[in-house]
Amino acid sequence: MSQSEPPVYRLNLPRLLALILQVLPLRRAETWSRDRIRAHQDRELVRLRQHAYAHSPFYQRFHKGLERRPLHELPVLTKKELMQSWDEIVTDRSLRLEDVQRFLERVQGFEPYQGTHYAYATGGTTGVKGVTVYSEKELLRIFAMTSRTTRWAGMPFSLRERPRLAIVQSLLPWHVAGGAVFIRLPLVKTLPLDTTEPLPQLVQKLNDFQPHVLGGFAGNIQLLAQEQLAGRLRIAPRTVTTTAETLKKEAREQIEAAWGIEPFDAYGSTETAVAASECQEHRGLHVYEDVVILEVVDEDNRPVPPGTFGKKVLATVLWNYTLPLIRYELSDHLKLASEPCPCGRTFQLIEEIEGREEQVIFLDGASGEPVRIEPDLFFDHMVLLPIDGWQVVQERKDAITFLVLRPHAEFKKTEFLQRIGNELEKLGARRPTLRVERTSELRRTKLGKLITIQALRTEDRR
């Protein structure tokens, strides 16, 4: 390795054997009955809690007197509390948040912290940046879970032809998506592409590479589908995967139209790793219930029934003993399915992912009370507009800007603003200042994500 090459993670023979030992139990779990899944979760939860109570001063205090209570009676752990109490939550007493953060500021590739752990930070799109840490064994568990995702997606593999995988995502090494760029897989040729790269350059590189598999952030894959439909991108992937952002119906339809195949969506976070993904039935996303417990709840942490969107998700990660996360709050809006998947797998099915609480816009109401505007109102009214893309940005409590990407000649700005204003008033909101801004490039986060609806942060809503 030259001095200029960043550190990489190679799946050498010992790591590959350790990975296989983790993959096999995950494959067996896919055939379990509902009763066996619940029994497995109960056992793994007991082990996780025992470890936390023995080694985490935070959980000794946070769950004091509740050690034998069921999961749904335990307090909720927020990201803010996680970061404030990080040093007491970790079960390896040698780990300190301040030191890990300094390490993340200088990390150049896939390198372990202190030679023993792997650390990543979230992008901070919820307003609070989080830091997660894994042991080597836990890192291999993430790889094993990812292998389930790729297997369900039917990713092509042949000894006669080296598969070509193109991934469009962040290349920042402190983010878990960027860290994946520095993993070297045997027998797979990989093309990592930065989401912040100009679109024409991405198109050219993909045309030259001709990937068998195309994956990445959902918003970027949708933009590439539009380039394919316009004739500028000319690739024929056999598999398309999306992650990190909500895959809306509009994006799914454009991907299908571009390449004649349905995309395979996956759901997860830095804290949970991949937690659910689609099978070839495309009826929803199967929750990986053998490694994570997801409670879909309302604003008061009460479970919501299948077929109803929750206001948040409480995740209990059964495999991370270094940084135990028990009823950890995620702001995602999920709806569980009422019926099982026809594929025969008994894992719980997520029927739809609406977005995050941070994408909900609050406006002043005519009655004086704030009015909640769900993301779907904007999706419903913008997906059919004659434009190449869009974003909604709440500039102030009483001002919204609609960024429209390369509007076509038939786009009627005045009619659109009138229609949106009427819909907001129907919901009881005072009509805010509404304006359209034409743009040749949509706004991205520093990770390169395209956040379609950018609402005010909670502290700015007051």
pLDDT tens-digit profile of 332-361? 889 999 999 999 999 999 999 876 656 778
Same domain, 380 and 418: yes
Mean pLDDT of 92-101: 92
pLDDT > 60? residue 3 = no
Contact, 119 vs 104, CB < 8 A? yes
Same domain, 320 and 387: no
Same domain, 137 and 162: yes
Encoded tokens for 367: 């009655």
pLDDT tens per residue across span 15-31: 889 999 999 999 999 99
Same domain, 284 and 430: no
- Of 354, 385, 404, the residue at which a domain comes to its end is 354
Same domain, 207 and 323: yes
pLDDT tens per residue across span 201-233: 999 999 999 999 999 888 889 889 999 999 999
pLDDT tens per residue across span 132-159: 999 999 999 999 999 999 999 987 665 5
pLDDT > 60? residue 397 = yes
Same domain, 274 and 365: no
Overall number of domains in the chain: 2
Q: What is the CATH number of the domain that holds 428?
A: 3.30.300
Rounded to 10 degrees, the C-alpha dihedral 405/243/112/164 comes to -90
Same domain, 341 and 385: no
Output the average pLDDT for the chain: 87
pLDDT > 90? residue 108 = no
Contact, 291 vs 314, CB < 8 A? no
First to last CA, the chain: 53
pLDDT > 90? residue 12 = no
Mean pLDDT of 275-292: 96
Same domain, 332 and 412: no
Contact, 377 vs 354, CB < 8 A? no
- pLDDT-based confidence at residue 54 (cuts at 50, 70, 90): very high
Q: Specify the pLDDT at position 2.
A: 44
Q: Specify the pLDDT at position 127.
A: 43
Q: Specify the pLDDT at position 1.
A: 42
Same domain, 6 and 63: yes
Q: Specify the pLDDT at position 123.
A: 57
Sign of the C-alpha dihedral, residues 338, 342, 344, 349? Answer: negative
Window from 119-128, 340-349, 390-399 with minimum mean pLDDT: 119-128
168 vs 45, which has greater pLDDT? 45
pLDDT > 80? residue 448 = no
pLDDT > 70? residue 128 = no
Q: Which domain holds residue 445?
A: 360-460
Q: Specify the pLDDT at position 148.
A: 93
pLDDT > 50? residue 39 = yes
- pLDDT-based confidence at residue 8 (cuts at 50, 70, 90): confident
Q: Specify the pLDDT at position 47.
A: 98
Q: What is the CATH number of the domain that holds 252?
A: 3.40.50.12780
- CA-nearest of 208, 237, 209, 231 to 221 is 237
Q: Specify the pLDDT at position 28.
A: 95
Triad 455, 128, 124: Cα angle to 5°: 70
Encoded tokens for 369: 């009370």
* pLDDT above 70 as % of the chain: 90
Same domain, 39 and 78: yes
- CA-nearest of 380, 373, 386 to 424 is 373
- pLDDT-based confidence at residue 458 (cuts at 50, 70, 90): low
Encoded tokens for 450: 């395209």
Q: Specify the pLDDT at position 450.
A: 65
Amino acid residing at 235: I
Q: Specify the pLDDT at position 234.
A: 97
Contact, 117 vs 95, CB < 8 A? yes
Q: Specify the pLDDT at position 157.
A: 60
pTM score, whole prediction: 0.79
- Of 332, 354, 376, the residue at which a domain comes to its end is 354
Same domain, 306 and 267: yes
Residues 336 and 350: their CA atoms lie apart, in Å, by 4
Contact, 226 vs 405, CB < 8 A? no
What letters, b where the CB count within 10 A reaches 16 and e where it falls short, cover 390-422?
bbbbbeebeebbbbbbebeeeeeeeebbeebbe
- Of 337, 354, 371, the residue at which a domain comes to its end is 354
List residues bridging with 438 in a β-sheet: 404
Same domain, 372 and 340: no
